[in-house]
Amino acid sequence: MASSSSPKTASTAERTLDVAELLVQVRGFNGFSYADVARELDISTASLHYHFPGKAALGEALIARYSTRFASALERIDREITGARAKLDAYVSIYSGVLRGNRMCLCGILAAEYETLPEPMREAVTRFFEDNESWLTSVIAQGQTDGGLSISGTPSDASQMILSGLEGAMLIARTYGGITRFQSSASRLLETLTP
């Protein structure tokens, strides 16, 4: 889920989003300012305000872009992978890739700051998690139907467990400075769904 723009061809708005996304994923939304972004891009804060009138607008744009990229990754998984367990493994790989870049899931880190976010950002973060839970629920239901997964409770319950488990595992792995802990936790989590 790394940013997709090339520094040489990206517009100022895209470059701003790239820098802000990295800052949020490393420091959190409350851990950076427009001055930090402007300094990184070697432009004035007035230039940033031209593209994003305030930090809340920048935050909303970050979530929208991240959510779109994440949704595209899920569509690609659906297109290229047939088995439910393999889809879940690919889903975990998205998180692993983010963590390998020494970053956190954008919406995961924003969830940690939820109470301090503007309402539109809160709604967008919630929507991101709801969309992920919906996708996971459909994959788990598929796995139940074809016998590839075995769960206690409903597919919705299992999807909440997976999403919460992965987001939490990222936070803890970050504390210990390595992806090995995350991968171990994610593997054990998915094993609970394997018949």
Q: Which of 76, 104, 106 is nearest to 91 (CA)?
A: 76
Low-confidence ranges of the chain (pLDDT < 70): 1-10
pLDDT in tens, 106-150: 999 999 999 999 999 999 999 999 999 999 999 999 999 999 999
pTM for this model (two decimals):
0.90
Structure-token pair, residue 44: 């004035």
Q: What angle do CA 133, 139, 141 make, to 5 degrees?
A: 100
The structural domains of the chain, with segments of one domain joined by +, span 60-191
Buried b or exposed e, range 167-191, using 16+ CB within 10 angstroms: bebbeebbeeeebebbbebbeebbe
CA dihedral over 74, 101, 159, 84, signed as positive or negative: positive
The CATH T-level fold of domain 60-191 is: Tetracycline Repressor; domain 2 (1.10.357)
Residue type for position 8: K
